[in-house]
Structure 1
């Protein structure tokens, strides 16, 4: 069973950070623990402590890599024949022969 305020620490690409603090629960018989997400309160914590440090999650190395080959991602191709999607509304005249008349103001 967790004490209120117990940390929920996570590792992201080799760096540990505080992701949450225990709020309630955590066995025996009480179900899984409930955590409060720390990032939602960073501004408040910083305002209270003035010495808090919040490290940023490091960027994903896979996102930083760009392939040398410019055709790696490919070029999106439009469909050969997109066709007509849906159908005309029953009140819609698909072959108008004259200009529509303006409606009167109510």
Structure 2
């Protein structure tokens, strides 16, 4: 649902996605650091999807749609507003500080 107070503002949904991305059956890797997981999916209304790596490399991923981000978001619907993209990246750990970090997800 669109909030009338958001008129004129860019609405962005950022969803951390720790697993690999395989939208075409081929695992996506970062062109800068060769990472294959631990992404930030960024959905810019209405249908632009960007992928950001912990190394700060970011690109538009044409093979991921808004539906993919919504599904990745799942039931965890905690929302937070950020003053800027830089604050969002820092707050979610995608500002480069954790570049090269590997999390044990098992």
TM-score, length basis structure 1: 0.24
Greater RCO, 1 or 2 (C-alpha within 8 Å, sep 6+): 2
TM-score, length basis structure 2: 0.24
